[in-house]
Amino acid sequence: MGQQQLLLVILVTIIVGIATVVAINIFGTAAENANRDAIRQDLLSAATTAQAIWTRPEMMGGAGGQFDNLDADQIADIIGIPGTVAGAVITNENAVYTVAEPGENTLSISAVPGGSQGDWQITVLRQGNGTWLTTINDHNNQDVVMGTDETTTGG
């Protein structure tokens, strides 16, 4: 083989190696993003169910207008996050979710992903004006707020 052919083979090998490393990194990032989306979906689904639990009468298995009418174990059973429930802890392939002891109008659920991502937390709050405020704090400490905060609207 000529010297040009050897250099070409080495160059192609280097390019293929770099392309392989880039593909592995992209695949890993896509898997992490999919897990993050699944956690966010689990938490948002739980927040929606929490609002229904709050309004459902106690005789029908709800909180009767106060989250603290139920304990964390009961809420974990009915919150709707798929997985194995053990007390106030729900485990599935996305994360380990823990329901905190509820306040009168506040419910918090934390999520610890199985990967290297940090903790997540969602808080559902029934405000005095009857509106709901849902806040998700992800592992980057970025808050996503849904609803209207009555302190900013003057209510």
- The whole-number pLDDT of residue 129 equals 86
What is the Cα Rg of the chain in Å? 23
Buried b (16+ CB within 10 A) or exposed e, 5-38: eeeeeeeeeeeeeeeeeeeeeeeeeeeeeebbee
Band of pLDDT at residue 154, cut at 50, 70 and 90: very low
Q: What is the pTM of this model?
A: 0.76
Q: Give every CB contact of residue 62 below 8 A, 6+ residues apart in sequence.
A: 52, 53, 54, 55, 56
Query: What pLDDT does residue 155 have?
Result: 40
Q: How confident is the model at residue 7 (pLDDT cuts 50, 70, 90)?
A: very high
Instruction: Give 19 or 130, the one with higher predicted confidence.
Output: 19
Where b means 16+ CB within 10 Å and e means fewer, 133-148 reads: bbbbbbbeeeeeeeee
Alpha carbon distances (Å) from 97 to 5, 22, 77, 120, 127: 58, 33, 12, 9, 24
Most distant CA pair in the chain: distance in Å? 87
Q: What is the pLDDT of residues 47-91, one digit of tens each?
A: 999 999 999 999 998 899 999 999 999 999 999 899 999 999 999
Q: What is the pLDDT of residues 98-144, one digit of tens each?
A: 999 999 999 999 999 876 667 888 999 998 888 899 998 887 766 77
Name the residue type at position 99: V
Give me the helices (H) in the chain, please.
3-55, 72-78, 150-153
Q: Residue 35 pLDDT more than 80?
A: yes
Place of tokens 């392309």: 19
